[in-house]
Amino acid sequence: MGQGDQGSEREGRELTRPLPLAGVRVLDISQVMAGPYACMLLGDLGADVIKIEPPGTGDQTRGSMGFKMKGADSLGFINMNRNKRSIALNLKSDAGRNAVIELAKTADILVENYRPGALKRLGLGYDVLKEVNPRLVYTSISGFGQTGPWADRPGFDLMAQAMTGVMSVTGYPDSPPVKCGVPVADIGCALFAVYATLAAYIGAKNTGQGQYVDAALFDSAMAFSVWDTCDWWGTGKPPVPLGTSNKMTAPYQAMACSDGHFVMGANNQKLWVQLCTLMRREDLLQDARFSTIASRLNNRQALQDELEKTFKQHPKDYWVQTLLDNGIPAGPILSYPEAFDSEHGKARGMRMDIDHPVEGKVPNIGFAVKLSGTPQQVRRHPPLLGEHTREVLEEAGLDYEQLAGEGAFS
């Protein structure tokens, strides 16, 4: 058997291994983005995620977005809820609450993003559920956390970006307020929540004791501000918007050329010398304004003006390829369609078409990280509202008909 055959056989054996979170049960009592996204990541890794939704309407995201699909669910919902089972329960009814308590007895993780204290007032707080399952990891996701003077405020990504300083450094100097084009607080909070939840789950496996995880969009957005905050703490000057520029080095930004813009980064002294030599702008090496990183930062606009005099002599494709060929980081500025359709986007599997019982084939954003031995899988389509209610409850030994008569589903 050749070396390649041995590698193929080894890879085949690895792919038969169970997914890392196989056997882990997650109760997903969340809506919209941060909570559902976090739970989808757990499901992608093999967890049995049971999404508990309000009867009739379900997760608010099912009806969001400004265009319609064939069925009732939006493409946004479909992209944040694969690998889950859905049950519809009225948590305001005694029967619905009791069903959640029964499900919690065999769960490993519960994720919720109701307003702080809302589930506790319904009798489904951590204080109650840890009594029936001491090893439960109970993760609450909210806008501003469970404590502090802003805890009771409704929290969305926009408010988190505005109230953490993120918007204060986004955009260009003297421009109106600008938010990040992607929901950095929502997605960031989902990622932080997943890492903390899994750490607590590992701890619970070792000790038998779960714990409460308090994840906030506010905290998560602030945690992203490393360079900006260090700049402020080090200089005493609050950071300001810099467009595409960087606080730590220059040139490292978008540059104008003959047919638009591209991005480049000569972000250390060696690359700076290479850039000037390549562009035949050795005069810049003799200019005291640009002799060091610090001086280039202090004269950022003059530096950009000088470089663009040369960059505007050729189109962006020429400059990207020329810089890359000479070891200088550069890239085009792509739209989402261009990025997904790029050779690299396809090679990385960043779009995948998955099966859906109503929509047929629907696009989903691909897995953001790749595991060699246990690659993530789409095991379940994004569920229809309440699609698995009877199945999940009967697995837990509950009488579906009796719960229906007691108002658990209405």
Contact between residue 63 and residue 74 where contact means Cβ atoms under 8 Å apart: yes
| Cα distances (Å, whole numbers) of residue 259 to 90, 204, 262, 331, 332 | 58, 57, 10, 14, 12
Contact between residue 93 and residue 101 where contact means Cβ atoms under 8 Å apart: no
In the structure encoding, which two tokens stand for residue 395, read together? 């697995």
Contact between residue 70 and residue 358 where contact means Cβ atoms under 8 Å apart: yes
| Cα distances (Å, whole numbers) of residue 167 to 20, 177, 204, 228 | 37, 6, 38, 12
CA distance 76 to 60: 11
Which positions are annotated as active-site residues?
186
Rg, Å, the chain Cα set: 26
CA distance 265 to 252: 4
Find, among 356, 377, 374, 382, the residue nearest to 366 by Cα: 377
Token look-up 């779960």 returns: 210
Contact between residue 38 and residue 193 where contact means Cβ atoms under 8 Å apart: yes
Token look-up 């607590």 returns: 200
Cβ within 8 Å of residue 307, ≥6 positions away: 251, 255, 279, 281, 284
